[in-house]
Structure 1
Amino acid sequence: MDFFSRKRMPVFLLDHVTEEVIYIVDRLKVRGLLMTPHKNVERIVVYLRGGKGQVGRVRPARMSQFKNKNTLVFAPYYRGSNGSEGRDHFCGDDLNDVIVGINILKEKYPQIPVHIIGFSRGGIQGLLTYQTVKATSYIIWGGVTDLLMMYEERIDLRGMLKRMVGHPKKQYEEYERRNALKNINQDSPPILIVHGDKDKQVNINMAYHLEEHLKEHNVEYSTIYEQGEGHVFRPEKEKQTLIQIHNWMDKCENKNP
């Protein structure tokens, strides 16, 4: 198992090589961005983007926030986006794009801890896949945790959800298939919840909803709730949050050496 092809990208980092990779998922050629350190890989971070299509596309600057000199960072584009074949099903078959990409990395770098970071729409993508790939931890940042809640709260997105998933009453089974919480229990890897209380794209109620479930089922978790912050944090607060995220990953790895 390996990437089908690699293309060097004009992203100049002192300690990493940046490549656009293509890999095969369900007979589709799916693309992603890969930052590989020059030094030995000691940590893998998988960044799951938000949005769809050109909205929320993968950006090298964002990926770079989660690396150090020994961290490999990978971000799938998802099928139907940015040159990937197929059609985006919004947490449907496109979940395989996440799983297969991570499995390629796990085979290439066995025994290396894998942390997944899901932002916005990527939040629910991660909740639905992080257990399957046996992630060391999962960080959900401003993330969607429940599509039914999203349908109720974001009237402006109902048309998109009807097209991509269906109507909550007529296609209830499709929403139930995307229920990210039902299989999370006390044996699940730890979760870090990051959210701003002024987030207008993904209401902080999503984070509270997830926290309630984790608490009820005795899942290890921690929270970073930032007062006055929106969907995208202001630079100084973002910098502080990134330090906390790196510390979280260190903590989770030290628990499971």
Structure 2
Amino acid sequence: MKKIKLHGKYIKTAFITATLVTSFFAQANFVEEKIAIDNPKTCFTGPFSTYEYWMDYNNKKFSRYNKKKFAKWYPKERFDKIKNNIECFDFTYQVDGFTIAGFYLKPKQVIDKKLPVVIYNRGGNGAYGTTPFDIKVGKLAELVKEGFIVIGSLYRGSSLSILNNGEDEFGGADIKDVLALTKILEALPEADTSRVGMYGWSRGGMQTYIAAQSLPNIKAIAVGAGVSNQELALKIRPKMENVLIKRVPNFKENRAVELEKRSAIKWIDKLPKQAPILLLHGDKDKRVNVKQSIQLAAALKKENHPHKLVVYPGGNHGLKRESKKVNQEVATWFKKYL
């Protein structure tokens, strides 16, 4: 495998062209106190290099794939526009000696010298629910089109193809993987580190609340179908306790403590007051009950914490049918506060 030397560091060049290296790395002077991005490669590669390849990939992977329905939701014109106007990279970085996978999106043409940043926190656990290509070129690309940089982590224990990837603790040490992204931002000159927001979905909502406690300068938060009360979540969906037993170290012995650590409604006063919170939820969500957002909104109101609750009638966990409304709501929120 070839390597090239940039800013005093040797960078692996597998799956990446000189053009991509120039467009991404030439902007940043990585120094020791910052966290470097390793092994970058474009998201538009392999089965995602063209619209036709992407369609074939979906057809082979998903047994219920409907080509016509997919094309209606995501037409070729949208794909080509995104690819031509947005840079999307997958990369790795080091936290606690582990190799963590992440991703980064930005406009190809940057008019302003500095852009506000949104840190995106994925849902799921382990290898399930990692941020797929359609999320990147779907709702995240829509934010980038509005003039934001978007960066995210897949968390430790999620990448089967990466050696030394660690173990997912479902809101434990993996929060460090989220916080480390702020150090990566310091190395990107186009990122305005004084205007950073955070956006989480499902489990990513929990990650967002926990991480926000350590980010006193965060400016705004948006959470879709988020978990804020683990006890309530387990009452409604008991099988999720198996996930916690598997992921959270010593969960059975420390059940009450670990649940409280992952329940923002228990320590709502620790959330940064200067960061208004947008809550989005479908009232037919079978994975995370809408009560999670309704109760949190009520608690935020008692704390005089600025917030907005939007409930989508008939909406499911992913709010895919409402995606245009959701994307606009989130973009408007971050534009207002970032």
- Which of the residues 113, 124, 136 maps onto 2:219? 136
CA change 1:234–1:101 in 2 (3 A) is: closer
CA deviation profile, 1:94-131 (whole Å, cap 9, x unmatched): 00000011232145334452121110110100011124
Count of residue pairs brought into register by the alignment: 252
Q: Share of identical aligned residues, percent? A: 25
Greater CA drift, 142-151 or 166-175: 166-175
Aligned to 2:276: 190
Q: 2: distance between equivalents of 1:159 and 1:186? A: 31
Q: Is residue 66 from structure 1 mapped to residue 143 from structure 2 by the alignment?
A: yes
CA change 1:56–1:186 in 2 (3 A) is: closer
Q: 1: distance between equivalents of 2:304 and 2:186? A: 28
CA change 1:105–1:185 in 2 (3 A) is: closer
Tell me if the contact between 2:294 and 2:309 (Cα under 8 Å) persists in the aligned partners: no
Aligned to 1:88: 168
Q: Is residue 250 from structure 1 mapped to residue 332 from structure 2 by the alignment?
A: no
Aligned to 1:212: 298
Q: 1: distance between equivalents of 2:165 and 2:288? A: 28
CA change 1:39–1:113 in 2 (3 A) is: farther
1:184 deviates by: 3.5
Amino acid at match of 1:177: K
Amino acid at match of 1:173: V
Tell me if the contact between 1:168 and 1:175 (Cα under 8 Å) persists in the aligned partners: no
Tell me if the contact between 1:6 and 1:19 (Cα under 8 Å) persists in the aligned partners: no
Tell me if the contact between 2:199 and 2:222 (Cα under 8 Å) persists in the aligned partners: yes
- Which of the residues 30, 35, 44 maps onto 1:2? 35
Greater CA drift, 239-248 or 110-119: 110-119
Q: 2: distance between equivalents of 1:246 and 1:4? A: 27
Tell me if the contact between 1:34 and 1:73 (Cα under 8 Å) persists in the aligned partners: yes
CA deviation profile, 1:129-187 (whole Å, cap 9, x unmatched): 12423321110101111222222221121212122235577532222333324143572
Point out 4+ residue stretches in structure 1 off by more than 3 angstroms: 166-170, 183-186
Amino acid at match of 2:39: R
CA change 1:58–1:154 in 2 (3 A) is: same
- Which of the residues 28, 45, 52 maps onto 2:125? 52
Aligned to 2:326: 241
CA deviation profile, 1:4-58 (whole Å, cap 9, x unmatched): 4132224262122222121111121111011132233512122111101232111
Amino acid at match of 1:175: L
CA change 1:185–1:144 in 2 (3 A) is: closer
Amino acid at match of 1:5: D
Q: 1: distance between equivalents of 2:146 and 2:304? A: 34
Aligned to 2:259: 175
Tell me if the contact between 1:49 and 1:57 (Cα under 8 Å) persists in the aligned partners: yes
Q: 1: distance between equivalents of 2:240 and 2:167? A: 18
Tell me if the contact between 2:198 and 2:208 (Cα under 8 Å) persists in the aligned partners: yes
Q: 2: distance between equivalents of 1:144 and 1:178? A: 8
- Structure with greater proportional helix content: 2
- Segments of 5+ residues of structure 2 without an aligned counterpart are 1-33, 50-82
Aligned to 1:20: 90
TM-score (norm 1): 0.89
Q: 1: distance between equivalents of 2:179 and 2:91? A: 15
Q: 1: distance between equivalents of 2:276 and 2:124? A: 25
Q: 2: distance between equivalents of 1:59 and 1:187? A: 32
CA deviation profile, 1:55-96 (whole Å, cap 9, x unmatched): 211123323232216321112000011237100000000000
- Segments of 5+ residues of structure 1 without an aligned counterpart are none
TM-score (norm 2): 0.69
Q: 2: distance between equivalents of 1:155 and 1:127? A: 22
